[in-house]
Amino acid sequence: MPKIKDKKNYVNNKEFQKEMIKSVEAGELTPTAVNMILKIANRVANTKFYYVFEDDRYTCMSQGIEDCLRYWKNYDPVKYDNPFSYFTMIIMNGIMRQFNELYKVSASNRISINTVTNLYNI
């Protein structure tokens, strides 16, 4: 695979769309499409969230990938012309769901301030 000079475009949207069209027609993801999904998941997991443990990063990333594998058949090339954003949102939602499950903030750890009655709950 050739090096990409612009790191912002680590997955080419047009190539990704071609691979997804092939995948939809074949009824299974092509290896190139899987590789592109893994690149997206890796980038989202490494740039958008901060983890206490490195294993948590992989747990969240695997949830995002699992969601992609579960919902990739819902991708309609006619309806969605941007597969990059479609799959990025699926991955991000899966990662966020797992992240929130790992790092739950209980009600006793929240701070609430009521300015009307001047009550503070810490």
Mean pLDDT of the chain: 82
E strand spans, the chain:
112-114, 119-121
Please tell me whether the overall predicted TM-score, pTM, comes out greater than 0.85 for this model: no
> Tens digits of per-residue pLDDT, 38-92?
999 989 888 877 888 889 999 999 999 999 999 999 888 888 888 999 999 999 9
Q: What was the pLDDT predicted at 46?
A: 85
Report the C-alpha gap between 23 and 78 in whole angstroms: 14
